[in-house]
Structure 1
Amino acid sequence: MIGNLDTAILQQLWWLLVSVVGSLFLFMTFVQGGQTLLWQVAKSDIEKNLVINSLGRKWELTFTTLVLLGGALFAAFPKFYATSFGGAYWVWILILFTFVVQAVSYEFRRKPGNLFGAATYEVFLFINGAIGILLIGAAVGTFFTGSNFTLDTFNRVTWTNPLRGLEAAFNLFNLAMGLFLVFNARTLGAMFLVNNIDCTDVPELERRLRKSCLLSFLCALPFLVIILAYFMFWDGFGVDKDGVVVMVHQKYFISLMENLWLAGMLLLGLVLVILGVFLTSCKTSKAGIWFGGLGTVFVGLVVFFLAGYFDTSFYPSKADPQSSLTIFNASSSHFTLTAMTYVAMVIPLVLAYIAHVWYHMGKLSVADVQDEESY
C-alpha cells in the first residue's frame, strides 16, 4: 500500500514526520530551560537538588527526541544531512558537545570522589541550556535566511564561510530565533518545575519559579516580534514550477495568507503559551506546562511547514541559490522512503515510551532527593 504512493507524497509525508518530531523536541527543551533557571530559583542545596533531579528524570526523553529527529532527517533527506553536517560542522560539533556535557553532568554531579565539584557540572548544565539551544535556534533560522554553501554536479558541498556554520549566529533573525527558543525553554522549564515538584516544604521555590515563568516569557517577546516581522515583510526563497529558486517578496506572509488554517494554528499556539504563562504566574494552577507545551508544538509545526511546504526551499543557499535544497531534491529514493515509512511505524512506540516514563515518574519531594541515587 505505501509502496503505491507517489514519491512526492512520500516526501511531503516525511517532512510532516520531521515537523512533528522537531516540534516535540522544542517542547521537550523545557529540560534545558529549567537548567538555566537553576541559579535563579534555587537558593539552597535542597532546592538545587529538587530542580536538578526533577529535570534529571526527563533529560533522556529530550535527548531521545533529538536523536529521533536526526535519524528522520538522515533517512528521509540525506542531501540536507550531508550538506549541513558536512559543511556547517563547527556549529553541530558545539551543539553535540553541549549535550554530551549535559549527560556527563547528570551522571557525575553528586558522585563520590567528584574531582570537579558539583558547581562545575551545574555550569555544564547551564551551557547546554543556553548555548546549545541558542545554536539550535540559529540553525533552524537558516531554514529561512540561508546558508553559505554550494553543491557541484556530484553533490559535493563547498562551504564558503570559514566559520563553518557558526556565522549563522551573527544574523539578526537567526539570533532572534535562538534567543526566543532559549527564553521559551526557560518559560516551559518554570512551568514544568511548578508542575513536577512538590513544593510543600519549599514554598519559596514555587514562588520564584512562578515569577521566573513570567519574566522569561516577557524576555522572549522582543525576539518573537522580530521573528513575526520577518515572516510578514521579508523576502523568502521560493521555487517556481521549473524548479528554479527565486526570491519571492513576502514569501512567508503570502504562504500564511493563502493557508489561513496555518495562520490560525500559529495564533492558537501563541494563545496557548500565553494561557500557560497566565495559569502559572498569575494563578495557583500547576497545569500551565500542558498549555504552554501544546502551544509550543503548534508554533513549531507552523515554522517547519513554512520552511518545507508551499513551494519553498527549506535549506536555501545564499552563495548559490540554485544549490538550495527542497523536500523534493534533497530526499531519498522512492524505495528508501517506502522502506523507512514502514520503519517509521515504530515512532508511536517511542512516543508511547515517553508518555509511559512521564506518567510513572510522579512529583518530586524533598524526601526523594536525600538518597545517594539522586542526581
Structure 2
Amino acid sequence: MFETLSLLTLQQYWWFIVALLGGLFVFLMFVQGGQTLLNTLAKTEEEKNVIIASLGRKWELGFTSLVMFGGALFAAFPLLYAVSFGGAYYVWMAILFCFIIQAVSYEYRKKPNNFLGQKTYEWFLYINGSVGIILIGIALATFYTGANFIKNDMNLSSWTNHTYGLEAVLNPFNVAFGLTIFFLARSQASLYFINNINETTIVQRARQQLKMDALLFLTFFLVVVVTLCMISGVSYTETGFEIVNHKFLTNLIETPIILISLLAGAFLVLYAFYSTLFNASTKGIWFSGVGTVLTVVSLLSLLGFNQTTIYPSLSDIGSSLTIENSSGSHYTLTAMSYVSLMVPFVLGYIYLVWKSMDKEKITSEEVESDHHHY
C-alpha cells in the first residue's frame, strides 16, 4: 500500500504525523501547567496531595508523548533532528533536565527520609512546568523564525555562534510562543482539575484561576497568530530558496483546510473556557483538548506544506531544511508508515486506561487512604 506512494507524499504524511503527535503532547502539557498551580490551588497539605495525585495519574502520558514526538521526528526527518537537537544543544539539554527532575519528583516527593525534602521536589515540579514548557515553546518557535546553522553537501551541519540555541530567547516572537503554550497549559490544568477532582474548594479556586490564565493565553495567542501573518517565511523551489513576505498568511489563504482547522481549534478552546466559566460545565477539558490538537496541527502544518521550509537558516538561506531535504529514504518512510497504523490502537489503549482511572473523581479521603500516593 505505502510502497506505491511517492517520496513526497510519504514526507507530507509523516510531517502530518509529527504535527499530530506535537498536538497531543501540547494537550497533555496540562500536567505541567497543574504543577505550577500547586501552591495556588492548594492551601493545605491534604489539598496538595489531592492535586499531586490527580496529576500523578497522567504525567507519564505526557512524558511518553514527548518521546513519541521526538522519536517520530528523528526517524522521519533525521537531518532536522540532528541540526536542531545537536545545534541548539543548551536549550534542549535544559529541557531534558527539566523533564528528568519531573520524573524524579513524582517518584521521591513523599518517600520517607528523602534528603532533599518535599519542598525541593515541589520546586522541581514548578521548574518543569514553567521553565521546561516555555523553553519547549521557544525551541518550536525557531521552526518559524530560523536558527544559526549551516550545512554542506554531505549534510554535515554546524552552528555559527557559541550560544547554541540560547539566542532564541532574545526573539520576542519565540518568547510569545513559549508563553502561549505556558498559559494554555495552566488553563487546561484548571479545566482538568474541575473535571477530575471532587473537592469543592479546589474546584472553586480553579475556576477563578482559569479567568486569569485564559485571558493571558488568549492575549499571547493573538500576538503569535498576528505576528505569523505578518512575518516572512522561506519558500523553496527546484532552483533554490527565497524569502517570501507574509508566507504563512499566504499558506493559510492557499490551503483552506489549514485555515478551517485553525479556526475550529480556536473556537473549541474558547468554547471550553466559556462553558466552564459561564455555564458551570465540568467537561471543558475535552473541548479544549480537541481544540488544542487541531490548533497545534494547523500551526505546524503551516510548515512543511506549500513549499515552505521547516527550519530556515539565518546564516545561509541555502542551508534551510525542508521535508524533502531532511527526511529519511523512501524505504525508511514506507516501513515506518506501516508502524504508524498502530497509532490508533495506542490511542485507544490510552483512552481505556484514562477512563478506567477516572471512573470516580478524586477526593482527599481516597488519597489519604492510599499509603503509596505521590
- Could you state the TM-score of these two structures normalised by the residue count of structure 2? 0.97
Amino-acid identity (%): 47
Residue equivalent to 1:34: 34
Q: Is residue 211 from structure 1 mapped to residue 219 from structure 2 by the alignment?
A: no
Is 1:7 the counterpart of 2:4 in the alignment? no
Whether 1:196 and 2:196 are equivalent positions in the alignment is yes
In 2: Cα distance, 1:174 partner to 1:280 partner: 30
Q: Which SS does the other structure have where 2:242 is aligned?
A: strand
* Aligned position for 1:220: 217
2: CA distance, partners of 1:297 / 1:357: 20
In structure 2, what is the Cα distance between the partners aligned to 1:80 and 1:214? Answer: 38
Over the aligned positions, Cα root-mean-square deviation in angstroms equals 1.1
- Provide the residue aligned with 1:78 in structure 2: 78
Residues in 2 aligned to 1:91 and 1:347: alpha-carbon distance in whole angstroms: 29
Give TM-score, length-normalised by structure 1. 0.97
Structure 2: where are the runs of 5+ without partners?
Answer: none
Q: Counterpart of 2:372?
A: 373
Alignment correspondent of 2:322: 326
Matching of residue 25 in structure 1 with residue 22 in structure 2: no
Measured in 1, the distance between the counterparts of 2:303 and 2:173 equals 14
What CA distance in whole angstroms lies between the structure 2 residues aligned with 1:281 and 1:191? 10
Question: Where do residues 99-114 of structure 1 align in structure 2 (5 Å cutoff)?
Answer: 99-114=99-114
Q: Deviations over 1:246-266 (max 9, x none)?
A: 110110111111222322221
> Match of 2:341, SS?
helix
Q: CA deviation at 1:76?
A: 0.4
Shift of 1:4: 1.6
The structure 2 residue matched to 1:289, chosen from 282, 285, 288, is 285
Q: How much has 1:274 moved relative to structure 2?
A: 1.0
What are the superposed Cα offsets for residues 255-310 of structure 1, whole Å, 9 maximum, x if unpaired? Answer: 11122232222111111111111122223211000111111111101111001111
Whole-Å Cα distance in 2 between the matches of residues 349 and 127 of structure 1? 33
CA distance, structure 1, for counterparts of residue 195 and residue 168 of structure 2:
35
Separation in 2, partners of 1:232, 1:71: 30
Stretches of 4+ moved more than 4 A in 1? none
Deviations 1:121-179 (A, max 9, x none): 11101111111110110111011100110001221211012111121121111100000
Partner of 1:158: helix, strand, or coil? strand
1:1-375 equivalence runs, <5 A: 1-199=1-199, 203-240=200-237, 242-362=238-358, 363-370=361-368, 371-375=370-374
CA shift, 1:221, in A, is: 2.4
SS of 1:104's equivalent? Answer: helix
SS in structure 1 opposite 2:342? Answer: helix
CA contact (8 A) 1:161 1:167 kept: no
Q: Show CA shifts across 1:202-221 (max 9, x none).
A: x2211110111121011122
Q: Secondary structure at the match of 1:308?
A: coil
**Helix, strand or coil: the match of 1:286?**
coil
Instruction: State the alpha-carbon separation in 1 of the partners of residues 259 and 239 from structure 2.
Output: 26
**What SS does the aligned partner of 1:237 have?**
strand
Q: Is the 8 A contact 1:46 1:366 kept in 2?
A: yes
Aligned residues: 371
Q: Secondary structure at the match of 2:311?
A: coil
Range moving further from structure 2, 276-285 or 120-129: 276-285
Q: 1:89-117: per-residue Cα shift (whole Å, max 9, x none)? A: 11111111111100000000001112121
